[in-house]
């Protein structure tokens, strides 16, 4: 809870003064007609007041709906244990697997009641899932291509990896850091993102991404 409060306070530090905040009515992919609050003239600072979802995690829901086309008898794996995308999938799917990544713990191990998984070396067998989803994860993966291959391995034929990553105003994806001989090597100024579970400025970015991607397997 302490880490969550710190992350929220850090998020609010980016907002405009409260008298500039705006509330509007719009359609939420999870909740239907809902109220949205904009803390700044920025889509990433706008959230649904019902589910607290922002533009990134809510954007996954229409893609999940489109992929399943009304057939929710699917095995789903979400690379986190919270968020509006997961909340939506819990209302539709019966077979859902979730995990978090805990540094220094073995993949597949249970940590405080949560399954630990490293997307670069998942412990699931081949063809385990119909859908894999993630929200703002792959920029924190030292070898994102290896992570994509692991997701492809655990997906069944016709399955889909549906995910978001932060977009940057740059001509191409840029490597920010790498692990070399077991140590982190930085390329320029290190960049960190907040963690809902572990607090602000906790997760190191290994890449900054230009394009959006929708991958099917």
Which residues, including other chains, have CB under 8 Å from residue 27's CB and lie 6 or more apart?
33, 34
Is this prediction's pTM over 0.95? Answer: no
Which residues, including other chains, have CB under 8 Å from residue 49's CB and lie 6 or more apart?
23, 34, 35, 36, 37
* Inside any domain, residue 7: no
Residue 202 has, within 13 A of its CA and on its CB side, a CA count of 16
* Inside any domain, residue 17: no
* Inside any domain, residue 39: no
Residue 134 burial by CB count (10 A; 0-12/13-18/19+): exposed, middle or buried?
A: buried
* Inside any domain, residue 13: no
Check residue 216 and give its pLDDT. Answer: 42
Check residue 119 and give its pLDDT. Answer: 97
* Inside any domain, residue 35: no
Check residue 189 and give its pLDDT. Answer: 81
Q: What is the CATH number of the domain that holds 201?
A: 3.40.50
Q: Which residue range forms the structural domain that includes residue 203?
A: 55-216
* Inside any domain, residue 16: no
Task: Say how far residue 167 (Cα) sits from the centre of its chain.
Answer: 13
* Inside any domain, residue 23: no
- Gap between the Cα atoms of 81 and 99, Å rounded: 6
Q: Which residues of the chain have pLDDT under 50?
A: 210-217
* Inside any domain, residue 125: yes
Tens-place pLDDT, residues 34-71? 999 999 988 889 999 999 998 888 999 999 999 999 99
Backbone dihedral angles phi then psi of residue 9, each to the nearest 5 degrees: -65, -40
Residue 28 burial by CB count (10 A; 0-12/13-18/19+): exposed, middle or buried?
A: buried
Characterise 158 by phi-psi region: left (phi > 0), alpha (psi -120 to 50), beta (else). left
For the chain, the domain total comes to 1
């Amino acid at each position: 809870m302490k880490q969550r409060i710190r992350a929220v306070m850090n998020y609010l530090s980016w907002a405009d003064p409260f008298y500039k905040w705006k509330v509007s009515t719009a359609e939420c992919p999870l909740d239907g007609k809902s109220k949205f609050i904009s803390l700044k003239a920025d889509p990433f600072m706008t959230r649904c007041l019902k589910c607290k979802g922002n533009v990134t995690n809510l954007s996954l829901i229409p893609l999940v709906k489109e992929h399943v086309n009304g057939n929710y008898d699917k095995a789903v794996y979400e690379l986190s244990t919270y968020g509006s995308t997961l909340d939506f999938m819990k209302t539709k799917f019966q077979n859902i697997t979730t995990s978090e990544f805990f540094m220094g713990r073995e993949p597949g191990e249970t940590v405080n009641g949560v399954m630990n998984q490293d997307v670069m070396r998942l412990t699931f067998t081949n063809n385990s899932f119909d859908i894999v989803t993630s929200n703002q994860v792959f920029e924190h993966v030292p070898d994102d291509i290896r992570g994509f291959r692991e997701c492809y391995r655990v997906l069944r034929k016709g399955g889909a990896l549906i995910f978001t990553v932060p977009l940057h105003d740059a001509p191409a994806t840029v490597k920010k850091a790498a692990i070399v001989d077991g140590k982190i090597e930085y390329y320029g100024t290190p960049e960190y993102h907040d963690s809902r579970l572990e607090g602000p400025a906790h997760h190191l970015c290994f890449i900054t991404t230009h394009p959006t991607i929708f991958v099917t397997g």
